[in-house]
Every structure is written in C-alpha cells, then in structure tokens.
Chains A and B, each alone.
Chain A
Amino acid sequence: MLIFTLRRLNLFFFTMLLLTILSFSLSFLFPGNALINVSGQINASPEQLILLSESYQSESSIVTQYISYLKHVLSGDLGLSMSSQTPINVEIADLLPATIELSMVALLLAMAIGIPLGFIAAIKHNKSADSLILSIAMIGYSVPVFWLGLLAILIFSIIFPWLPSAGQISLLFEIKHITGIQLIDILLSDNIYKWQAFQNASAHIILPACVVAMAPGTIFIRLARSSMLEVLETSYIRAASAKGLTFNQIIFHHAIRNSLVKIIRHVGLQFANLVTLAMITEVIFSWPGIGRWLIDSIYQRDYTAIQSGLLVLSCFIFIVHILTDFIYAALNPLARDSKHA
C-alpha cells in the first residue's frame, strides 16, 4: 500500500505541475498583455503596474515567472476577475460548492439507478429485459444534455407545474453560508422553517440532477452489466453453485460485491464526464455554480477567470480521480500491486 501511495503522490505532483504550467501559459496565449491577463487588474495605473510586475517578476526569465505565479496560486491569490474586479478565489469559494453539490447528487443518482439496472441486464443476459435495458442505455448515452434539460423543463415545470425550473432555492428562504453546500447548510441552520427550506431546495435540485445523471447513469448500466457478466463466468461462482448455493445467494453474497469493486474503478473517469455535463446544465437551469460562471466569463472575455477556473475545476476533478483510485485499492488488494502508476 505504501508503494501504491507513493506512486499516486508522484502522479499527483506531476499532474499538478502540468496543470499549473498549462494555466500559466494560458496568460501568454490569451490576447492582450500577459501581466494583466494573469492579475486581472485592467484599470491599473502605471505605478501599480510596476508593483505588479515586481510581484509576478515579469522582467525575469520564464522559469522565475512561473515560480512566482506558483507562489501566488499556492497562497490562494488567483488575481481579480476582469469583469467584476473582485478576487477570484472569493468568487470560486462561493460557486464551487454549488457545483460539487449538483455533481455529487447526480453521481449518487446515476450510480443508484444505473448499477442495479446493469446487474439486472447481466442476470437476464440475452433475454428481452437485457436488450430493453441496453437500448435505453444507448439512447440515454446519445441524447444531447442541453436538449434533455430543455425537454425536462418543458414537461415537468411548464406542462405539469410540479418542479421549479431555475435556481438553487426559492428567494424566500435565507440560508447562512457555512459549508456552501446548500442541503447541508439548511440542516445545520437553526431556522424554524428548516424543513420547508429543505423541501424547497430538494425540489430545485431534482430536475438538474436527473438531467446530469442521465448519460453517466447509462454508462454505469453498461459497466455494471459487463463486470457482472465477467464475474458470473469466473470459477469461484461455478464453485459456489457446485456447492449447492441458490442463485440468489450467489448473486447477493458473491457476485455483487466482486463486480461492484470493478465499477468503482471507473467512477473517477465518469466524474470528469459528469462535471462537463453539469457545466452545461448549470447554464440551462441557472444553477449558481462554477460552470455557468466559467461560460459567462468566456462571453465577457474575462481571461483571468477562465485561467483560474480551468485550474480549480481540473484540480477538483483530478482529486476526485485520485480518491476513487485509493478507495479502489483499499477494496481490491490485487490493484495495489499493479506495475503502472
């Protein structure tokens, strides 16, 4: 396990190095002055510019510039947003929890629905239930997420006015910002209308979370199906049935556990996909998350925000990736000895 941890840490540092180099080079690739792009101070006076260029060492060699950029990022200074002139780390700290909330709820939803369906398809292999589930999976995988979001709004908030179509919570409720994740904040608060607020917030998250969960959920169906099929063909399952265990006992005691381990390995990769879908869904459902903010900053040519948004979002994705790798290794001793990091 120690060697495994060291390998992962090595990969982590390498990736962080590449990501920061990428985000550092973006300030040169974007149109305009690199110093202003990296700091976001568009209205700086000549004196301020001199101070800035000292702090980012923009007169020195490229390596020194990169190191001073790294120092700024590590101390939490991501520059000012070009359009609103507020510090970007404050904006991101406000917005990122909303995205985490949406993507986590969607991930849970996708796993809770997709994995059992995949298992059912594998158990009924080559029967009509299997092909039905597979065709649903094919359509769900192919549907464009923005279209699905619009249809969901049309059906569930306009034709049948059951669920709200925009925002994170009704404006009537005032929730104190503690963790930033709304559903947890509500439970932590001591408001007398706590449960109404909780209901309202859950009604707001259902539609966008379902829309985001659609494509990853169908991928989980396929993953669960193939890993279950693989497990059902192994010799220990045959041994179990030779011992005289019933089919249900085999499935619930042996097959499900072993195939779940294989699925967990893919959660990290699916999460990257899911965050992209969440970015588009946030635009449609006016969800106050980092994806909508990032796309807005592209419209406004807010290069500092794009640069830092990319860095934060890809770090977040990568950390989740590494975490799922660790969970996988903790559950599956075989994975710890693999040769490649």
Chain B
Amino acid sequence: MAREKIYQEEEFPSPFLQLWQIFRQTPVAMIGFGCSIFLIVLAIFSPILTPHSAIESNLDMLLLPPSWDDSGNISFLLGTDELGRDMLSRLMSGASLTFGLSFVVVVISLIIGVLIGSLSALTTGIKASFLNHFLDVILSIPSLLLAIIIVAILGPGLSNTLWAIVMVLIPQFVHITRNAVKEEFVKDYVLASRLDGASSLRILRYSVFPNIIEKIISQATLAQSAAILDIAALGFLGLGAPIPLPEWGAMLKSGIDLFYIAPWAVYLPGLAILFSVVATNLVGEGIRHSLKLHKES
C-alpha cells in the first residue's frame, strides 16, 4: 500500500537534484548520458562480454575484413587485425583501458584538485597570489605537452601515462574550485552560518560544496574528454600503453602500417575514440545547458 501524504510538506530538492530534473528534459544530453553508461558497463564487464580473447592471436584468420564485406566471417563481426585478433573484442576491452582509465584518472585528479583548491581558497595574501600565478603558468602550457614531459621524466608505460595525466588535470580542478569557493564565500548564506558560529571547514562541507558540485562535475566532463584524447594520443605516439594491450590509440598506431590493405584496423579504433569523446561532451553540454537554465529560473 502506498504511503499517503498526511502532512502538507513542501519538498525542497537539493541543487544537484534540481539540476538533474532539468537535465532529464534535454533529449540529446540523455542520449549522451546513456552512451556514457553503456561505455562504463562495457569498461567494467568487458572481460566477460568479449567473444574472443583480445590478446591471443589466431593465425588462420589474418586480416579478415568486417563481416558485411563479401570475404568477411560472421564470427568475427568487425574483422581481425594483422595477428588475427578479433577487432570487436579488442575494441571492447579497449573501452576499459581508454574510457575506464580516463574515468579513474579524472576521479583521482578531481579529489586532489578539489582538496587543494578549497584549502587555497581559504588562504589569502602572498601565498594565494603566488599560487594564482603558478596556476596561470601551468595552465598556459598545453596539457599534452606537459603530459609528454612528465612521461619523459617517468619513462614510457601505461601507469606512468596515467600519473602524468592526473598531474596535468589537477591544476584545472584547483583553479575552478578555488574560484567557485571564493565566489560562494562572499554570499549572505555563508555569512549566516558564520554568524551561527560555524568554522570555515564546516561551512565548506555543509554550505559551499552542495552549491558548487555541479560546476565541478561540468569541469570533470571537460577533463574526461581531454583525458581520453590524451591517453589515446600518448598511446598513438608509442609513449603510453605497450604494444599488446588493446588501448584504442595504440591499436590505431599498429594499424597504420597496413592502412592500405586493412583500413578497418585504423578507422574502427578512431570511431571508438570519437564515440566516447562525443558521449562525454554531450553530457557536459547538457550539464552546462541546465546550469544556465537553472540560473535563469
């Protein structure tokens, strides 16, 4: 039996829930959201879902074209590469490397960046001015160039690439958190809780964070699309994931040599990268759009 409402209680959804209600009404953003969920599921369950092994080669089935081609084979839906590895399985496990790892990278740098940013928003004076200039300098160096330099220090490899991208993304989160927190701190409701005797950290936790979380998430989607492109670019340059791993950028690189005979080994990984970046950007656009509507309402 459904519980009846006895009291005339008015519901006040949190700012985040209000945003979600607006976000739900834009169909394009929901498509992007659905695609992102699909990619996350794929990233987690790809070891169970793949029809063939992503790494083992199959010498009888070298360079099969996709199955819609006349000489294709239906059990290898998207064809095979130069070592007979199934493209579909490689693309699916690539989702957990390129998309899944970029997600992890963004979450790690978000946590560190928000911590540093909110602490630095509470400081003033010469320390804050130094940090501001320092962030400006770091942000003026392109992210990929910085990632390449950090990889050069740490040495090539997948885990080093990930740490490099984490370090590159942190300043962006510090910057946005710092500005957002400073903006909120001069508002009246913060003053009210300060008059109630709340400490700065408590105000940060209970008053400011619920109001700036959507800005941080919107920055996180930007960071996510940059992270996917950077992981793939480093893989393509041969500085990221080592050869047998089915990382999309590295797959693209290994497909170049057979570009003229087997173009599907190049355009399929590229399409996969494009798909995941577009999905992420659609979600980001949706969030920014609903933020704007929310502000106007």
User: Does A151 contact B267, Cβ atoms closer than 8 Å?
Assistant: yes
Q: Once the chains are docked, how many angstroms separate the CA of A138 from the CA of B31?
A: 14
Partner of B137 from A19, A141, A275 at Cβ < 8 Å: A19
User: Does B142 contact A276, Cβ atoms closer than 8 Å?
Assistant: yes
Partner of A141 from B152, B155, B238, B281 at Cβ < 8 Å: B281
Q: Is B149 positioned at the interface, with any CB of A under 8 Å from its CB?
A: yes
Q: Is A146 positioned at the interface, with any CB of B under 8 Å from its CB?
A: yes
Distance to closest chain A CB from B17 (angstroms): 27
Q: Is B214 positioned at the interface, with any CB of A under 8 Å from its CB?
A: no
Q: Is B277 positioned at the interface, with any CB of A under 8 Å from its CB?
A: yes
User: Does B233 contact A272, Cβ atoms closer than 8 Å?
Assistant: no
Q: Once the chains are docked, how many angstroms separate the CA of A317 from the CA of B134?
A: 16
Q: Is A197 positioned at the interface, with any CB of B under 8 Å from its CB?
A: no
A interface majority secondary structure = helix
Q: Is B244 positioned at the interface, with any CB of A under 8 Å from its CB?
A: no
Contact digits for B112-151, partner A, Cβ 8 Å, 1 yes 0 no: 0000000000000000000001101100111111001101
User: Does B282 contact A138, Cβ atoms closer than 8 Å?
Assistant: yes
Q: Is A123 positioned at the interface, with any CB of B under 8 Å from its CB?
A: no
Q: Is B260 positioned at the interface, with any CB of A under 8 Å from its CB?
A: yes
Q: Which of A41-74 contact B (CB under 8 A)?
A: none
Distance to closest chain A CB from B28 (angstroms): 9
Number of A positions contacting B (CB below 8 A):
42
User: Does A150 contact B256, Cβ atoms closer than 8 Å?
Assistant: yes
User: Does B281 contact A272, Cβ atoms closer than 8 Å?
Assistant: no
Distance to closest chain A CB from B130 (angstroms): 9
Q: Once the chains are docked, how many angstroms separate the CA of A195 from the CA of B142?
A: 37
User: Does A142 contact B237, Cβ atoms closer than 8 Å?
Assistant: no
User: Does A138 contact B266, Cβ atoms closer than 8 Å?
Assistant: no
Q: Which of A268-285 contact B (CB under 8 A)?
A: 269, 272-273, 275-276, 279-280, 283
Distance to closest chain B CB from A98 (angstroms): 17
Q: Once the chains are docked, how many angstroms separate the CA of A269 from the CA of B249?
A: 26
Q: Is B45 positioned at the interface, with any CB of A under 8 Å from its CB?
A: no
Number of B positions contacting A (CB below 8 A):
42
User: Does B277 contact A276, Cβ atoms closer than 8 Å?
Assistant: no
Closest to B230 in A: A276
User: Does A139 contact B140, Cβ atoms closer than 8 Å?
Assistant: no
Closest to B143 in A: A276
Known contacts: A26-B153, A150-B256, A283-B237. The answer to whether A298 contacts B133 by CB under 8 A is no
Q: Which of B215-262 contact A (CB under 8 A)?
A: 225, 229, 232-233, 236-239, 249, 252, 256, 259-260
Q: Once the chains are docked, how many angstroms separate the CA of A283 from the CA of B278?
A: 25
Contacts of B155 in A (CB 8 A): 31
Q: Once the chains are docked, how many angstroms separate the CA of A273 from the CA of B226?
A: 11
Q: Once the chains are docked, how many angstroms separate the CA of A310 from the CA of B225?
A: 24
Q: Is B270 positioned at the interface, with any CB of A under 8 Å from its CB?
A: yes
User: Does B270 contact A317, Cβ atoms closer than 8 Å?
Assistant: no
Contacts of B181 in A (CB 8 A): none
Q: Which of A109-163 contact B (CB under 8 A)?
A: 138-139, 141-147, 150-151, 154, 158
Known contacts: A26-B153, A150-B259. The answer to whether A310 contacts B142 by CB under 8 A is no
Q: Which of A5-46 contact B (CB under 8 A)?
A: 11, 14-15, 18-19, 26, 29-31
Partner of B151 from A142, A272, A298 at Cβ < 8 Å: A298
Q: Is A4 positioned at the interface, with any CB of B under 8 Å from its CB?
A: no
Contacts of A146 in B (CB 8 A): 232-233, 236, 249, 252
Known: A144-B229, A146-B249. 6 other contacts (CB 8 A): A15-B137, A144-B277, A150-B252, A150-B266, A154-B259, A283-B237
Where the two chains meet, the residues of B that have a C-beta atom closer than 8 Å to any C-beta of A are 133-134, 136-137, 140-145, 148-149, 151-153, 155-156, 225, 229, 232-233, 236-239, 249, 252, 256, 259-260, 263, 266-267, 269-270, 273-274, 277-278, 281-282, 285
Where the two chains meet, the residues of A that have a C-beta atom closer than 8 Å to any C-beta of B are 11, 14-15, 18-19, 26, 29-31, 138-139, 141-147, 150-151, 154, 158, 269, 272-273, 275-276, 279-280, 283, 294-295, 298-299, 303, 306, 310, 313-314, 317-318, 321
